Amino acid sequence: MYPSLARQIQPLVEEACDRMEYEGSFMFDEYPDQLTIHRLSRNIYEKMDKKTYQDDVMMQEATGRNWLEDFVTVMLLNEMYQRRCRRRDRRCGGIF
């Protein structure tokens, strides 16, 4: 369903969310901390193999905007949202 780039990033995002999925985690806060989300997405971005995206990285340096890191953040937020929905459904007995 995802393009090839997203399919390569998805396992890194899932691994990060697996580590955060515990009782009291910031992932399940009503308003997750923006700085923590940014730090986590930056860590995921740093783990990526940059050789694969060499042309994109060079383009980012020219424009100054890091779209690939923004893309990782969007994927992270989407995964967090899905896990929050699953958790809510389990806690509320599927009422919602």
- pLDDT tens track of the chain, all 96 residues? 678 888 889 999 999 999 998 888 888 888 889 999 999 999 999 998 766 666 666 666 666 668 888 999 999 999 999 998 887 776 655 554
Q: Give whole-number Cα distances, 44 to 13, 23, 30, 94, 96, in Å.
A: 7, 22, 23, 32, 32
Q: Report which of 69, 75, 67, 51 is spatially closest to residue 3, judged by C-alpha positions.
A: 75
Relative orientation angle of helices 34-47 and 4-20, to the nearest 10 degrees: 130
Q: Could you tell me how far CA 34 lies from the centroid of its own chain?
A: 12
